[in-house]
Amino acid sequence: MKMLHAALAAALVLLLAGCFGEPSETDIRAALEKNIARNNESLNQTTQMFGGAGKILTDMIGKAEIHSVKKIGCVAAKDAPGYVCDVELDMTVPLTGRKKDMTTVRFVKGPDGWVVAE
């Protein structure tokens, strides 16, 4: 009976850790990709106002694209909800090209998963 209680307690701890813990590297990448997709869509809508010239402009400057994400570490945000995470990000950015850089981003858990806090 003691072993059953210990097993149930361990399962509960793991379950709660998934609900209340910091974002994983996979969560971080998904949140960043959603943010970039939203920005790319905004760019598309803006350039569509210019018709054919807008498409040419979009093709010239390109779109943002993530190549890799490495979570360095996260801490609970102070005076705000969520977690502040240090991330190594390898991505292509319009006009400047591909670069690998360290950045700090705040993530908040929303109804559809983790999101970038702007």
- Residue spans per domain, the chain: 22-116
- Residues constituting the chain: 118
Structure confidence at residue 43 (pLDDT): 72
User: Given CA atoms 77, 81, 82, 84 in this order, what sign does their dihedral have?
Assistant: negative
CB 95 within 8 A of CB 64: no
What contacts 12, CB < 8 A, 6 or more positions away?
Answer: none
DSSP track, 57-80: HHHHH---EEEEEEEEEEEEPSSS
Structure confidence at residue 104 (pLDDT): 97
CB 65 within 8 A of CB 91: yes
Please report, in tens digits, the pLDDT of each residue of the chain (118 residues total): 554 444 444 433 333 334 469 999 999 999 999 999 988 787 777 766 766 666 666 666 777 899 999 999 999 999 999 999 999 999 998 888 899 999 999 999 999 999 999 8
Structure confidence at residue 55 (pLDDT): 66
